[in-house]
Structure 1
């Protein structure tokens, strides 16, 4: 899951307009022909031989064909017009768009340096479904070599509904919404949906921990089934139902009915799929009390990483694991190289969206540079700075990135265990 962090102040209207103009003008990553060694010199006399030599046509290395990339982002440029202003929500969307674009553009530039050529077209959805629908009919968009966006699920649905026939791939860059919502065979979902977090956790439990039982503690709200149902299905499938999955609705933190089923020596595996603060505070305190007599290993919702009310000391005592699709290693050499390049180019610190933009831009830029057919792309595995990609083709839903990491609270921090 992606957390939102703004490392720089919001853009004012004038600065925003200036940036967009600069972005559009500079977006094509043009090739620059090298200047000849005699570039600035002139001669007053020319010999006949030299004249003849000058008449010979100079051979010029063919320039790589420009791959057209269309970025469809919620810029909300109508709010930047004279007399208009951004609401806080719209400004966050605009900043997110700029940050993603900056990372994406930096990736294209790095591939351009190796001989590729790109033309970037930027389209504004205005965070409006009707506008997204209209862009789905735009010939400039439809003839692109690569389409990235829209960003928000409602816009993706409106846009992709206009492009259901087999054709160019549509990259959903940031939304973890299930592709089953859109039912579009051309879609490439970059952020793993919640279902694949559940599957990843279940696979780790079944293959690495191999318990006899798994306890699912729910609050009774139906939205928790989006995580608990695929988790149980995966456990049942991988273990051939040899691992018993026990689902219990917990009221006011009462875990007493489970005590007789717990092991005093083996790890007792618990899954808590809730994201509700009141339920979590009470239930995790009860688990903490239980852990003084019984070994406890807890698996939680990926959004727990963003919850300040969940203290790392408690989560560490419960041997808590969560799944994550994006974690940056700031000790990595490639990460530090990117940070230097980004700061030099934009005089700002990159946000999560900028790093995601770079990873995704680099991945697809290399595919385009290698001549990949984006109507039926071969999407290999990729390890990025922010997240990694492992795609599966799902009938009627396109390609889905299913890669998630398993993280565990250790030394008051989240450490990768798988």
Structure 2
């Protein structure tokens, strides 16, 4: 990958305009209280209503208004939208995209299924003090669902309020394991690294069925977050399938072949995301395919790495687990993209897709089940544009999404295979 020096890019005119409108929107976002009108006893209006009681009872009960609150890091108090540069706005752009996708979902449900929503949007400012202040707002306390905050520190802070209020809250983007927050009302949509490991081991066992598993470490500190749970998960398999673990600094790239079996499939597990290590080890493994059967299981973050060579990844039969995959050839995705462009004059980013899927999953349940929607969270399986959602519940740590994909480097792209 070639790096070039760029001048700082300013935010596009359309997105600047949206950010400016959001300043006005959020300023006017505090919930309004409707006045209560008391009719005097015996009034003509009261008699008229009494006469219509039977008619009203025969009518289908009107759907309740569901209150949804978004807590997103717009950070409008620190951004000057007139002169803001792109790097200043990464969190704000995330918030804008997610908000627009979520709103499109609720608008679609309201139009198609007759759902009634009160949609409240708050600037979390990615700030603990701000979140504490928001938790005391009547609009938050009256919410049927709270979506956000999006970052781990904010989730940890707001989880305490969620528990005390007994309010369901959604962690829409963080991949942090739910046991870090100890909140039975937390709904985690993004998969944790432990879930990725479980999916990878299941795929190895059910599909690859190797003769041997070899875990190769680079020495990168972060790889242990994957390597440790992998060794724990695969321990039962190792009774039937030998597992070797080697450190590349001790062994050297040229001696990797000594850990492979010449008969049957070798599954190589690479928990690292280090550029130099991956370029070297994948090149070496590609050479070894001439004499050994090889398949590689990589870290989920590989999906974002642009330096990996497509030819080599295909040659070594590389796989990764992933929380999501957008099929731009599907009619549903095509319709969403066109609708998003028409509404906002922008291309939908990853977080717009995420916002739509999360909004449609919860909004659909709310429209159908009303105030009891929480009783059906684990019974609904949602196949989305970006995310699939199938929740499982832990009484101590809340809900987690068990939907995960296995992708393979094939035809110079990542394709779903499991």
TM over 0.5: yes
- Aligned equivalents of 1:316, 1:27: Cα separation in 2: 53
Matched residue, 1:21:
24
Output one character per residue of 1:29-71: Cα deviation in whole Å (capped at 9) or x when no partner.
xxxxxxxxxxxxxxxxxxxxxxxxxxx9898977532100000
Shift of 1:184: 1.2
Shift of 1:221: 3.4
Matched residue, 1:384:
384
Instruction: After superposing the two structures, state which structure 1 stretch, 132-141 or 380-389, moved more.
Output: 132-141
Task: Check whether the contact 1:252–1:283 (CA below 8 A) recurs between aligned residues.
Answer: no
- Aligned equivalents of 1:13, 1:200: Cα separation in 2: 41
Q: Cα–Cα, structure 1 residues 306 and 378, in superposed 2: closer, same or farther, change >3 Å?
A: closer
Q: Cα–Cα, structure 1 residues 346 and 235, in superposed 2: closer, same or farther, change >3 Å?
A: same
Output one character per residue of 1:330-389: Cα deviation in whole Å (capped at 9) or x when no partner.
111111121222122212211111011100000000111122535555332211000111
Shift of 1:109: 0.7
Output one character per residue of 1:272-319: Cα deviation in whole Å (capped at 9) or x when no partner.
000111221222222222222211111101111211211111111111
Matched residue, 1:158:
157
Q: Cα–Cα, structure 1 residues 10 and 236, in superposed 2: closer, same or farther, change >3 Å?
A: farther
Output one character per residue of 1:247-269: Cα deviation in whole Å (capped at 9) or x when no partner.
11112872455534423342211
| SS at 1:217 equivalent | strand
Task: Check whether the contact 2:30–2:139 (CA below 8 A) recurs between aligned residues.
Answer: no
Task: Check whether the contact 1:146–1:169 (CA below 8 A) recurs between aligned residues.
Answer: yes
Matched residue, 1:189:
188
Task: Check whether the contact 1:170–1:186 (CA below 8 A) recurs between aligned residues.
Answer: yes
Shift of 1:325: 0.9
Matched residue, 1:211:
210
| SS at 1:174 equivalent | coil
- Aligned equivalents of 1:126, 1:391: Cα separation in 2: 29
| SS at 1:263 equivalent | coil
Matched residue, 1:100:
98
Shift of 1:26: 10
| SS at 2:129 equivalent | helix
CA-based RMSD of the aligned residues comes to 2.9
Matched residue, 2:140:
141
- Aligned equivalents of 1:125, 1:104: Cα separation in 2: 17
Query: Does residue 230 of structure 2 align to residue 227 of structure 1?
Result: no
Matched residue, 1:45:
none
- What 5-or-longer segments of structure 2 have no aligned partner? 1-8, 32-50
- What 5-or-longer segments of structure 1 have no aligned partner? 1-5, 29-55
Matched residue, 1:406:
406
Question: TM-score scaled by structure 1?
Answer: 0.84
Q: Cα–Cα, structure 1 residues 88 and 411, in superposed 2: closer, same or farther, change >3 Å?
A: closer
Query: Does residue 316 of structure 2 align to residue 313 of structure 1?
Result: no
Q: Cα–Cα, structure 1 residues 15 and 143, in superposed 2: closer, same or farther, change >3 Å?
A: closer
- Aligned equivalents of 1:14, 1:227: Cα separation in 2: 42
| SS at 2:183 equivalent | coil
Q: Cα–Cα, structure 1 residues 320 and 187, in superposed 2: closer, same or farther, change >3 Å?
A: same
Query: Does residue 326 of structure 2 align to residue 331 of structure 1?
Result: no
- Aligned equivalents of 1:374, 1:320: Cα separation in 2: 41
Shift of 1:271: 0.3
Query: Does residue 247 of structure 2 align to residue 244 of structure 1?
Result: no
Matched residue, 1:171:
170
Shift of 1:222: 3.8
Matched residue, 2:45:
none
Question: TM-score scaled by structure 2?
Answer: 0.84
- Aligned equivalents of 1:12, 1:294: Cα separation in 2: 52
Of Structure 1 and Structure 2, the greater helix share is in 2
Q: Cα–Cα, structure 1 residues 57 and 96, in superposed 2: closer, same or farther, change >3 Å?
A: same
